Amino acid sequence: SAVGRGPEVPFRSEAYRISAVARGKELRLTLSALDPAAADPPQDLVFRFGMSGSFRLCPAAELPRHAHLRFLTRESPPRALCFVDPRRFGSWRLGDAWQPERGPCVVSEYQAFRGNVLKNLDDRAFDKPICEVLLNQKYFNGIGNYLRAEILYRLKIPPFEKARTVLEALKDQEQERKKDPSLTLSKKVKLRQESPDLLELCHTVPMEVIMAEKQLFDPEHSDNYAAFKNWLQCYLVPGMSSLRDRSGRTIWFQGEPGPMAPTGQRPRKTPHKKSPQLKADPEAPTPKVTPRALKQRRRAAAKPPKSEEKEEEKEEEAEGPRKGRARGRRKATAAPALPEPEVPLSVRRSRRTSARRGKG
């Protein structure tokens, strides 16, 4: 598109195929011509989705807003496969290389991912809370904000527990299992299924989302977000607590936050939805629905006798004009009064203000 920030794609072909491979939070598209004699070689594009990037297939005549890259079909009428990114946090680059600072994928390269974490526990990155380390794509490539909350919640791990403390226990446990001759391969598999550890859930929880993708994220289903919310157990769930970590991201959890929780913050509870009875409570005062005439009648009923009113005016004149937020409020409708000498505007305004304060 004309406003897209990504690089121009030099690939040109009358008919081509698109294939895709995912690795963690990156996706590589390969454009290859169907004609083997085509002059253009295959073109690779590596995408990062940011917070709002996605692909959408739609009629070419009805392109969505923020469709920054489009691949058109040859059918009639044509459709467009669009990279849509409203916030423009996503990006693409030419070439087939993955980002070098990203570790093995938690889904497609589980064993390499597990080994990469356990052999690097001396890294200073693991001095941080476990909730912050789970967003470090050098070790947890593919884990995002909602996944970390779901993983820690299932294991009842406080989000601000030190990462090395949590992961070193897994390392010791793994070594004990290797030394135990009574544990056969089938027993080890059964043990992992019954009581998975943190790194195993980093693989299985994303797999749950992938396997249920049609129900959770299919744009053809209008209730897809409702299905995703039903799948969530912790993230944005009413009754859960939340805190901001040191990178500014919000983590949802249950129970105590942990010893490394940021100071100066108090956990916030995700509110429950208000019941219809509270909204329809007739006892609750609702100023918006109070008729204006009813207000005026109430003021008239509460108006003091004229003798008391004159004494109040004398006191206000002695005090002088008052300053405050009430000066900027809507002026009350003045009641008919007896003729009186002309007084300065500031004093008249002060009288009205004091009268409202006294009756309020």
- pLDDT at residue 302 above 70? no
Question: How many angstroms separate the CA atoms of 158 and 135, rounded?
Answer: 16
SS3 per-residue string spanning 295-307: HHHHHHHCCCCHH
Residue with tokens 């989302």: 209
Per-residue pLDDT, 269: 83
User: Which fold, 16-94?
Assistant: N-terminal domain of MutM-like DNA repair proteins (3.20.190)
pLDDT reported for residue 348? 57
Residue 323 burial (C-beta neighbours within 10 Å; 0-12, 13-18, 19+): exposed
Alpha helices in 119-211 (DSSP H): 130-133, 145-155, 163-179, 185-194, 198-211
pLDDT of residue 308: 44
More confident residue, 292 or 279: 292
**Who's near 50: CB < 8 A, 6+ residues apart?**
85, 87, 88, 89, 90, 91
Mean pLDDT, to the nearest integer, of 308-329? 45
Can you give the pLDDT at residue 143? Answer: 96
Residue ranges, CATH 3.20.190.10, the chain: 16-94
User: Which has the higher per-residue pLDDT, 293 or 283?
Assistant: 293
Model pLDDT for residues 54-102, shown as the tens digit of each residue: 999 999 999 998 999 999 998 899 999 999 998 888 999 999 999 999 9
Most confident range (mean pLDDT) of 103-107, 175-179, 298-302, 307-311 is 103-107
Average pLDDT over residues 326-342: 49
pLDDT score recorded for residue 319: 42
Contact 73, 79 (CB under 8 A): yes
Whether the per-residue pLDDT at 287 is higher than 70: the answer is: no
pLDDT at position 195 is 74
pLDDT at site 189 = 60
Looking at residue 317, its pLDDT comes to 44
Note the pTM of the prediction, 2 decimals. 0.67
Q: Confidence class of residue 166 from pLDDT cuts 50, 70 and 90?
A: very high
* 91 Cβ contact partners less than 8 Å away, ≥ 6 residues apart: 5, 6, 47, 48, 50
Average pLDDT of the chain? 79
Residue entry with tokens 């459709």: 79
For residue range 192-237, what is the model confidence (pLDDT) as tens digits? 666 789 999 999 999 998 887 765 555 555 566 778 888 999 999 9
Please list the residue range(s) of the chain that carry CATH number 1.10.8.50.
110-270
From the list 151, 133, 251, the residue with the least C-alpha distance to 209 is: 151
Kindly report the number of other CB atoms within 10 A of residue 9's CB atom: 14
- Give the residue carrying structure tokens 């290859």: 32
**What is the pLDDT at residue 153?**
97
Q: Which fold has domain 110-270?
A: Helicase, Ruva Protein; domain 3 (1.10.8)
pLDDT at res. 280: 45
Assign 117 to helix, strand or coil: helix
- Asked whether the beta carbons of 84 and 51 are under 8 A apart, the reply is no
Note the maximum CA span of the chain. Answer: 107
Amino acid at 89: F
What does the pLDDT read at residue 67? 92
What integer pLDDT is reported at residue 226 of this predicted model? 79
Highest mean pLDDT among 129-143, 175-189, 267-281, 343-357: 129-143
